[in-house]
A = this chain, B = another copy of it.
Amino acid sequence: MNDHTEAPSARTRVRRVATNAHYDAATLNAIIDAAYLCHIAFTDSTGAHCIPTACWRDGAYLYIHGSNGSRMLKRLQESDACVTITHVDGLVMARSAFSHSMNYRSAMIYGRFEVVADEAARRKAMEDFMEQLLPGRQAEVRPGSDKEYAATTVMRIALDEAACKVRSGGPKDDEEDLSWPAWAGVLPFAQTRLAPVADAACAIEAPAHVTGWQNG
């Protein structure tokens, strides 16, 4: 991911609207860090599967976790996967029907997941996950027990074979369509944070990481 202009492999080279392709780490990291989950494509004896799962990043790796019994986590140790994250930012309204588009930021990562086998590294990864979701939370909750950690598999995939595709801005009508009398522009989306909802049985005053949620 050191080169901003060349794909790191044949299967990551963007071919459709290649001008929207990005291969640099800054673009990739920003897309991952804005995501709470990814979709993972992998195959087993019954075919291809596309499974959503929570993810987080530490350095040049994307992490996932799950139960030791997870069929996906077992299978990911045996063959390559493709991890995709997509953020939809808006509908792009052009004057011509076929020039309509969407604004988005997407990342695809190829490679083989590896198990984080070292126990200290696994604990640190899970604590990083919590801290990234909500800074300050890890120190307040009942920490994981040895049994809970032992039942959990943490896996990571290197970010060195990846491609991003980003579209932003307004419509790009053909010259001859510009005079067509239709409104043109962008109808944007945002993922916003709503007010925290305390559990009915919770009598604890909300800490800063909860009261600050909507401004985060």
Q: Which residues of A does B touch, CB under 8 Å?
A: 10-11, 15-16, 36-37, 39-43, 46-52, 54, 67, 70-71, 79-84, 86, 88, 90-91, 93-98, 100, 102, 104, 106, 108, 110, 126, 130, 133-134, 137-138, 140-145, 148, 152, 170-171, 177-178, 180-202, 204-207, 210, 213
Contacts and interface: CB of A to CB of B under 8 A. Distances in A.
A184 B196 contact: no
Given A83-B50, A196-B186, A37 B102 contact: yes
Nearest to A67: B16
A107 to B, nearest CB: 10
Determine how many copies of this chain the complex contains: 2
B93 A46 contact: no
Contacts of A138: 97
A108 B50 contact: yes
B46 A10 contact: yes
A104 to B, nearest CB: 7
Contacts of A192: 189-192
Contacts of A191: 189-192
22 contacts: A11-B49, A16-B67, A37-B86, A40-B50, A41-B82, A43-B43, A48-B79, A50-B83, A52-B86, A91-B134, A93-B134, A95-B141, A98-B148, A140-B183, A185-B202, A185-B210, A186-B199, A187-B213, A188-B194, A188-B196, A188-B197, A190-B191
